């Protein structure tokens, strides 16, 4: 269950941008068009019960207050479109310092599963651990232009976060990582396949085999058919092309796969088989299974996030390894 986020801020920002135009060429990708403070409007009592089971009131109120984390809502350019995204970072950073970053890929499709209070608690945890967090709502969601293609041109919205990070001026571009949940796992695999400049990645309940998921959950095939109707190619071909299980040799970054044994949305088999394929291809992979948990590892949220941070720190480049130093 995900809370429908309030969109007033996004509507206001996009209204201010009504007359803005920019080139759709590659160099324009990641250009920040507008920023606004990212305000968590929902009180603890307004959150779904399922959220309140995953973190304490004390932690949520600390996230709402901001404290040591600065949160921004941004509108940025991607493939000629205006897309909504978020940036969270430690608030107190020494002048001229560069911080490692995490590109966060959300799950869901269109406005279902759009980034909200649940994700922002995770952002806060990661930022408190010293990372800048960058995330996209993907095109067609939360007031963004374009249409969700579930792994098509919308992968560019993920890739555009890298030049955005560079433009911020405080991201250590040698130490950028990626974290994906569910559909965001698929986006992570596709981004790595397409050359995302990350040192390592982590995926929670990730989708690696679309035909396999379609067989397990037939409504997914119907949803994809609707989303892909105008993007060319048949549904079967598009499912195959977006399935990392078909091209594990192209996932050339260290991968941490976390999955719940009781996941009813994306079965554990999706990570088990991908881990085996990665090992066979000579890849670096660690698989962590939580037998008593579900899709988002809700019962182990703190451990989940700590494992992700630990994995990224393991593969972080030394601050002494600057070229020419």
Over the stretch 55-89, which tens digit does the pLDDT of each residue have? 999 999 999 999 899 999 999 999 999 999 999 99
pTM value surpassing 0.85: yes
Please indicate, yes or no, if residue 3 is contained in any of the structural domains: no
Q: Which CATH number is 238's domain given?
A: 3.40.50.1820
Contact 167, 135 (CB under 8 A): no
Q: What is the pLDDT at residue 318?
A: 82
Token pair 């970072």 is at which residue?
89
Q: How confident is the model at residue 5 (pLDDT cuts 50, 70, 90)?
A: very low
Is pLDDT at 18 greater than 50 in this prediction?
no
In a domain, 320, yes or no: no
CB atoms closer than 10 angstroms to residue 22: 13
Does 325 reside within a domain?
Answer: no
Residue 170 belongs to a domain: yes
DSSP string, 92-108: ---TT--EEEEEEE--S
* 194 part of a folded domain: yes
Average pLDDT of the chain to the nearest whole number: 90
Q: Return all residues near 310 (Cβ < 8 A) that are at least 6 apart.
A: none
Residue 79 lies in a domain: yes
Range of the domain at 139: 8-314
| Cα–Cα distance measured from residue 267 to residue 120, given in angstroms and rounded to the nearest whole number | 25
- Cβ atoms within 10 A of the Cβ of 280, count? 10
Q: Would you say 170 and 101 are in contact if contact means Cβ atoms under 8 Å apart? A: no
Instruction: Judge whether 169 and 148 are in contact, CB under 8 Å.
Output: no
pLDDT digits (tens, 9 = 90+) for 178-199: 999 999 999 999 999 999 999 9
DSSP letter string, 158-227 = HHTHHHHHHHHS-EEEEEEEEEEETHHHHHHHHHHHTT---S-EEEES----HHHHHHH-HHHHHHHHHH
Q: How many domains does the chain have?
A: 1
C-alpha distances out from residue 227 to 83, 84, 240, 300, 323, Å: 18, 20, 16, 33, 44
Collapsing DSSP to helix, strand or coil, 47 comes out as: coil
Within a domain: 307: yes
What three-state secondary structure class fits 18? Answer: coil
Q: What is the pLDDT of residues 83-138, one digit of tens each?
A: 999 999 999 888 889 999 999 999 999 999 999 999 999 999 999 999 999 999 99
Q: What are phi and psi of 218, to 5 degrees?
A: -50, -30
Which long-range contacts link 286-290 to residues 24+ away (Cβ below 8 Å)?
286/254, 286/255, 286/256, 286/257, 286/311, 287/257, 287/259, 288/256, 288/257, 288/258, 288/259, 289/259, 289/260, 289/261, 290/258, 290/259, 290/260, 290/261
DSSP 318: P
pLDDT at residue 1 greater than cutoff 90? no
Query: In a 3-state reduction of DSSP, which class is residue 65?
Result: helix
Q: What is the DSSP string of 134-166?
A: EEE--TTSTT-SS---SSSTTHHHHHTHHHHHH
Instruction: Say how far residue 87 (Cα) sits from the centre of its chain.
Output: 12
In a domain, 322, yes or no: no
Helices (H) and strands (E) in the chain, counts: 12, 9
């Amino acid at each position: 269950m995900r809370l429908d986020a309030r969109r007033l801020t996004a509507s206001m920002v996009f209204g201010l941008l009504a007359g803005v135009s920019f080139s759709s060429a590659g160099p324009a990708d990641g250009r920040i068009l507008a920023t606004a403070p990212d305000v968590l409007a929902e009180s603890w009592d307004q959150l779904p019960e399922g959220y309140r089971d995953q973190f304490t009131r004390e932690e949520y109120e600390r996230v709402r207050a901001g404290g040591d984390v600065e949160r921004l809502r941004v509108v940025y350019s991607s493939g000629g479109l205006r897309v909504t995204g978020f940036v969270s970072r430690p608030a107190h950073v020494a002048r001229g310092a560069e911080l490692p970053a995490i590109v966060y890929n959300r799950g869901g499709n269109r406005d279902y599963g759009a980034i909200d209070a649940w994700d922002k608690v995770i952002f806060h945890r990661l930022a408190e651990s010293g990372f800048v967090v960058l995330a996209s709502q993907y095109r067609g969601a939360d007031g963004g232009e374009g249409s969700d293609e579930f792994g098509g041109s919308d992968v560019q919205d993920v890739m555009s976060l890298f030049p955005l990070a560079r433009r911020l001026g405080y991201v250590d571009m040698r130490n950028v990582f990626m974290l994906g949940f569910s559909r965001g796992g698929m986006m992570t695999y596709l981004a790595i396949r397409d050359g995302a400049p990350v040192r390592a990645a982590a995926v929670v309940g990730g989708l690696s085999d679309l035909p396999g998921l379609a067989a397990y959950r037939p409504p997914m095939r119907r949803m994809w058919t609707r989303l892909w109707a105008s993007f060319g190619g048949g549904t079967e071909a598009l499912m195959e092309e977006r399935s990392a299980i078909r091209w594990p040799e192209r996932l050339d970054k260290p991968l941490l796969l976390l999955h719940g044994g009781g996941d009813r949305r994306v079965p554990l088999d999706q990570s088990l088989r991908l881990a085996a394929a990665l090992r066979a291809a000579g890849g670096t992979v660690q698989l962590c299974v939580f037998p008593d948990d579900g899709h988002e590892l809700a019962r182990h949220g703190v451990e989940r996030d700590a494992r992700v941070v630990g994995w990224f720190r393991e593969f972080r480049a030394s601050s002494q390894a600057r070229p020419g130093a």
